Amino acid sequence: AKDNNKTLQAHYAHLLVHGTLHAQGWDHETSEADAQAMEAREVEILAGLGFKNPYH
């Protein structure tokens, strides 16, 4: 988390959201479009929970 300039809480939230999306069938390794869609959904969910974009 520190290496990515995130709090531990933000890092765990991102891992939870990312893993939950995978459990629902999202896959960022199939195509660039799928990766962008999954990343956008992660950012949207995390923002709703009060966390900043983990990719910036």
Does 3 score more than 70 pLDDT?
no
- pLDDT computed for residue 1 by the predictor: 56
* CA gap 46, 20 in Å, rounded: 12
Within a domain: 38: yes
| Count: domains in the chain | 1
The residue that leads in pLDDT, 3 or 21, is 21
User: Does some domain include residue 53?
Assistant: no
State yes or no: pLDDT of 34 exceeds 80.
yes
Q: Percent of the chain at pLDDT above 70?
A: 93
Residue bearing the bigger pLDDT, 1 or 11: 11
Residue 51 confidence (pLDDT): 97
**Is 55 part of a structural domain of the chain?**
no
Predicted TM-score (pTM) of the model is 0.87
**Is 30 among the domain residues?**
yes
Between CA 45 and CA 13 the distance in angstroms is: 10
In the 3-class helix/strand/coil scheme, how is 7-55 assigned residue by residue? Answer: CHHHHHHHHHHHHHHHHCCCCCCCCHHHHHHHHHHHHHHHHHCCCCCCC
Question: Which domain does 31 fall in, by range?
Answer: 2-48
